[in-house]
């Protein structure tokens, strides 16, 4: 009797919210996009705030958030304890933010180095023709991949990644909530990644 009471007490100690999150994780691991969207929506504000504290600017925080969501999506199947989702995803977000900061610093250092270099003449036509061909082929593949996206995803990916608009600007332009922008941006990027890596639309 005491064992049963202890078990019931242990089960009741888990909050309804924690049970809901664990259930969403399980369904998302089975391939439910809706469950994954609900899962990200439950934590998007907390994760954005954390990314903002690390990165400083809204634009960098938004980029980190999107990249972290992609990594969470790609690695969710390896999470053995659904109830540990938050600390697990939080660690992914922090690592993504730190990587972003390191890349930004390296980019800034490279810009300084380039600015300090004396201009040296280059022979005309020294850029390898093969490189230009590869670039044209890549952009051709990118255009075809973009064209294969659903209209809303294609629009939002283009506005954000090509035109450089922020999430809030896109939400205002498309007359939809910022969460809808983030969701379409995430899934659009993920489909582009699969298409460009030769994995197909899946």
Q: CATH code at 36?
A: 1.10.1740.10
Q: How confident is the model at residue 120 (pLDDT cuts 50, 70, 90)?
A: very low
> Is residue 190 assigned to a domain?
yes
Q: Is a pLDDT exceeding 70 seen at residue 7?
A: no
Q: Which domain holds residue 94?
A: 17-112
> Is residue 201 assigned to a domain?
yes
Tell whether pTM > 0.75: no
Is 50 in the same domain as 93? yes
Is 108 in the same domain as 178? no
120: region left, alpha or beta (phi > 0 left; psi from -120 to 50 alpha): beta
Total domains, the chain: 2
| 179 and 41 Cβ atoms separated by less than 8 Å | yes
> Is residue 169 assigned to a domain?
yes
Q: Is a pLDDT exceeding 60 seen at residue 2?
A: no
User: Any idea what the Cα angle at residue 186 is, between residues 68 and 44, rounded to 5°?
Assistant: 55
> Is residue 47 assigned to a domain?
yes
Specify the pLDDT at position 161. 79
The 10s digit of each residue's pLDDT in 135-190 is 667 667 777 888 888 888 888 888 887 667 788 888 877 788 899 999 999 999 88
Specify the pLDDT at position 68. 92
Specify the pLDDT at position 135. 64
Q: What is the DSSP string of 107-167?
A: HHHHHHHHHHSPP----TT-S-HHHHHHHHHHHHHHHHHHHTS-HHHHHHHIIIIIS---H
| 192 and 186 Cβ atoms separated by less than 8 Å | no
Is 106 in the same domain as 160? no
Is 102 in the same domain as 146? no
Is 107 in the same domain as 25? yes
The CATH number of the domain holding residue 172 is 1.10.10.10
> Is residue 159 assigned to a domain?
yes
> Is residue 192 assigned to a domain?
yes
Q: Is a pLDDT exceeding 60 seen at residue 98?
A: yes
Integer Rg of the chain from CA: 22
Provide the terminal-to-terminal Cα distance of the chain, rounded to the nearest Å.
51
Q: What is the mean pLDDT of the chain?
A: 76
> Is residue 37 assigned to a domain?
yes
State both tokens at 187.
Answer: 């899934």
Q: Is a pLDDT exceeding 80 seen at residue 56?
A: no
The 10s digit of each residue's pLDDT in 142-155 is 778 888 888 888 88
> Is residue 35 assigned to a domain?
yes
Note the helical H segments in 13-57: 16-29, 33-55
Q: What percent of the chain has pLDDT over 70?
A: 73
Is 24 in the same domain as 88? yes
State both tokens at 90.
Answer: 């939080």
Is 36 in the same domain as 90? yes
Q: Is a pLDDT exceeding 50 seen at residue 114?
A: no
């Amino acid at each position: 009797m005491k064992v049963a009471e202890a078990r019931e007490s242990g089960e009741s100690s888990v909050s309804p919210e924690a049970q809901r999150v664990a259930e969403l994780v399980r369904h998302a691991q089975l391939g439910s996009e809706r469950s994954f969207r609900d899962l990200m929506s439950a934590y998007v504000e907390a994760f954005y705030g954390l990314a903002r504290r690390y990165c400083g600017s809204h634009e960098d925080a938004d980029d980190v958030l999107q990249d972290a969501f992609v990594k969470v999506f790609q690695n969710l199947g390896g999470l053995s304890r659904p109830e540990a989702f938050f600390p697990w995803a939080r660690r992914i977000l922090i690592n993504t933010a730190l990587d972003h900061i390191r890349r930004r610093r390296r980019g800034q250092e490279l810009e300084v180095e380039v600015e300090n270099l004396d201009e040296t003449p280059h022979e005309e036509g020294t850029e390898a023709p093969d490189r230009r061909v590869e670039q044209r082929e890549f952009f051709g593949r990118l255009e075809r991949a973009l064209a294969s996206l659903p209209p809303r995803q294609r629009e939002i990916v283009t506005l954000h990644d090509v035109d450089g608009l922020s999430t809030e600007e896109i939400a205002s332009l498309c007359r939809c909530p910022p969460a809808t922008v983030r969701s379409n941006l995430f899934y659009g990027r993920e489909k582009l990644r699969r298409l460009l890596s030769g994995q197909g639309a899946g």
